[in-house]
Amino acid sequence: MTTTKIAFIGAGSVVFTQGLLADLFAYPELKDAHIALHDIDPDRLATAEAGTRHIAARFGASPRVTAHLERREALPDADFVINIVQVGMAEATRVDFEIPARYGLRQTIGDTLGVGGIFRALRTFPLLKALGEDIAELCPQAWLLNYTNPMAMNVAYLARATGLTRVVGLCHSVYWTMRGLAGLVKVPYEEITYRCAGVNHQAWVLRFERDGADLYPRLDEAIAADDQLPRRTRVDMYRRLGYFPTESSEHSAEYVPWYLHHDAEIERLRLPIGAYLDIVAENQREYERTRAALADGTPLQVEGTQEYAPQIIHSIVTGRPRAVYGNVPNHGLIPNLPADGVVEVPCLVDGTGLQPTRVEPLPAQLAALNRGYLNVVDLVVRAAVEDDPRHIRHAAMADPATAAALPVERIWALCDDMVTAHGDRLQPSLRARLGG
Q: Which residues are catalytic?
A: 172
Which DSSP state fits 384?
A: H
Tell which residue, 329, 340, 344, 376, has the closest CA to residue 167.
329
- For residues 10 and 8, give the distance between their C-alpha atoms in angstroms, rounded to a whole number: 6
* Spatial contact of 395 and 406, defined as CB atoms under 8 Å apart: no
Cα separation values, 424 from 348, 395, 432, Å: 40, 20, 11
- For residues 407 and 54, give the distance between their C-alpha atoms in angstroms, rounded to a whole number: 53
* Spatial contact of 252 and 245, defined as CB atoms under 8 Å apart: yes
Tell which residue, 145, 243, 160, 247, has the closest CA to residue 199.
247
Angle (CA) 216 221 224, round 5°: 125
Q: Please, what's the largest Cα pairwise distance for the chain? A: 62
Q: What secondary structure does DSSP assign to 71-115, as a single string?
A: HHHH-TT-SEEEE---TTHHHHHHHHHHHHHHTT---SS-SSSHH
* Spatial contact of 294 and 45, defined as CB atoms under 8 Å apart: no
The reply to whether omega before 150 is within 30° of 0 (cis) is yes
Q: How many CB atoms lie within 10 A of CB 403?
A: 16
* Spatial contact of 36 and 68, defined as CB atoms under 8 Å apart: yes
Contacts of 246 (CB under 8 A, 6+ apart): 173, 174, 177, 196, 198, 201, 202, 203, 204, 205, 344
